[in-house]
Amino acid sequence: MDEFYKYILLSLVSELNGERGKAFFISLLRGSKQKKVLYMLNKKSLWGYYNLLGLLSRSSVEAMYDELIESKVLQIKNNRLTDGFLYPLLHLDQAAKQFLDEKDSEFSDRLKEVFESNIKIIDISRLMLDLTGQPDSLPDAV
């Protein structure tokens, strides 16, 4: 896997370490309009990651996460939430934290530039929706 993709995937997990599972991260990176994704985008200000890997297939993004899990960089821990069910949530391993620390100087500026471009695209999409009078599928607040 390309190291920059690895940096993106691990950076996103670090933002929500232990709060969400693999399916959520894949949905966010591929631009899902699910309420839970839009809610978390606003709650945690994750708009830079939104639809960042939208040109890749779901199975491609899932394969990248699977590779990180199989190589023990990411861990799946079952956490019991208030409804009594166990949910498989992603956590960073020490190796992931070390990778992020080591690559931060190399990739952090590049990721910020990608985020800025991505947010401009999202803003243009919102503007186009406003101009066409279609309901806003990317709300400012959920």
Q: What rounded mean pLDDT belongs to the chain?
A: 86
pTM (predicted TM-score): 0.81
Q: How confident is the model at residue 78 (pLDDT cuts 50, 70, 90)?
A: confident
Secondary-structure percent of the chain, ordered helix, strand, coil, rounded to 5: 60, 10, 30
Write down the domain spans for the chain.
3-132
The answer on pLDDT for 6 being more than 50 is yes
Reply yes or no on domain 3-132 having CATH 1.10.10.10: yes
pLDDT in tens, 24-53: 999 999 999 899 998 998 899 898 999 999
Q: How confident is the model at residue 121 (pLDDT cuts 50, 70, 90)?
A: confident
Contact, 70 vs 52, CB < 8 A? no
